[in-house]
Amino acid sequence: MAEAEEETPMETAEVAEPAAEEPMDLMTALQLVLKKALAEDGLHRGLREACKAIESRKALLCVLAQDCDQADYTKLIQALCNEVNVHLIRVPQAVQLGEWAGLCKLDSDAYWSDRYEKESEEFEWYQSYDSIKDKVKAAFPDTDGKILNIGSGSSRLPVSMYLDGYKKITSIDFSPVCIEAMKGKFADKAELEWKAMDVRKMEGLADDTFDYAIDKGTMDSLLCGSNSTQNVYKYLQEVKRVLKPGGTLLILSYGGPSKRDVHLKRPSLGFTLTQQEVPKPTAAGVTPSPGMENHHYLYTCKA
């Protein structure tokens, strides 16, 4: 077997079912329950269906996303569950819940392109540039450095960075719809480059090109899809290849070190890793539920 093949991490099952005596964390257990409920036609998705199932006392369990920004929606579900005594579990992200409930495929460009066709408005995942600016500046001290913005989406991040002095930014995303829209919108900023490209295969980007790379939510979306371990490994190998030796990759993620270190600390990648917490912006009217994480994680990976 070739060395590269030996190093490629193997995927376990998409939702590995541990042996009965093995401890399972709550989110893995929930993923399994949702998968089984979906297969048995026992999953009611969306506000209307969920309310009907709770009110008719058929619901055994209700699952709601913590980042739901519609306070009325959250209050209604909380009140209904209280009234009929249905257990309510919160998961960090609506997109993650959507994937587990079979509503979307976060690792498919068709899903993302469809989303960008329907929503032409800019959308910012997790944090705006302003709220992470100090940390970005500390990690990317040279404003002349070449920056790769990975899985750029419709975020203002590259434009805000540009206005803050960083001029040499190449943004990549595998949705051509999104790349074309951003290219058109910011055509006046000629130094910003936009390229439709899969982060797992950055063909067209030469080795040792970038001083810095930034990922806000993109590794997370790979982790929510199928073959996640291998996809994230291919992605990180590619970032390592296009970063100059000593270059820096910043990753903003909802996942803590217990879930991310396994990918970022792989010896074959050779990154030196540090991590810090960034407080989450809170949505008005939404009370954090017990156990809800109130920060994102910012990983600094030195090539």
Identity of the residue, 55 or 130, whose beta carbon is nearer to ligand SAM in the bound complex: 130
Identity of the residue, 31 or 155, whose beta carbon is nearer to ligand SAM in the bound complex: 155
Report how far residue 268's alpha carbon sits from residue 266's, in angstroms, rounded to the nearest whole number: 6
Helix (H, G, I), strand (E, B) or coil at 119: coil
Q: What is the smallest separation between the CB atom of 157 and ligand SAM, expressed in angstroms?
A: 6
Q: CA nearest 299: which of 227, 232, 207, 242?
A: 232
| Dihedrals phi, psi of 246, to nearest 5 degrees | 85, -5
- How many Cβ atoms are within 10 Å of 9's Cβ, its own excluded? 14
Report how far residue 6's alpha carbon sits from residue 261's, in angstroms, rounded to the nearest whole number: 20
Identity of the residue, 100 or 112, whose beta carbon is nearer to ligand SAM in the bound complex: 112
Identity of the residue, 59 or 222, whose beta carbon is nearer to ligand SAM in the bound complex: 222
Identity of the residue, 27 or 94, whose beta carbon is nearer to ligand SAM in the bound complex: 94
Q: What is the smallest separation between the CB atom of 213 and ligand SAM, expressed in angstroms?
A: 12
Name residue, tokens 């989303």.
Answer: 115
Q: What is the smallest separation between the CB atom of 246 and ligand SAM, expressed in angstroms?
A: 24
**How would you label 140-168 residue by residue, b for 16+ Cβ within 10 Å and e otherwise?**
beeeebbbbbbbbbbbbbbbbbbeeebeb
Residue ranges binding ligand SAM (CB under 6 A): 107, 112, 123-125, 151-153, 155, 157, 173-175, 178, 198-200, 216-218, 221-222
Identity of the residue, 24 or 105, whose beta carbon is nearer to ligand SAM in the bound complex: 105
**How would you label 25-57 residue by residue, b for 16+ Cβ within 10 Å and e otherwise?**
eeeeebbbbbbebeeeeebbbeeeebbebbeee
DSSP element (H, E) containing 261: helix 257-264
Q: What is the smallest separation between the CB atom of 174 and ligand SAM, expressed in angstroms?
A: 3
Q: What is the smallest separation between the CB atom of 96 and ligand SAM, expressed in angstroms?
A: 10
Identity of the residue, 88 or 135, whose beta carbon is nearer to ligand SAM in the bound complex: 135
| Dihedrals phi, psi of 244, to nearest 5 degrees | -70, 155
Residue 144 half-sphere exposure toward CB, CA atoms < 13 A: 0
Q: What is the smallest separation between the CB atom of 98 and ligand SAM, expressed in angstroms?
A: 12
Residues 92, 75, 46, CA angle at the centre, nearest 5°?
65
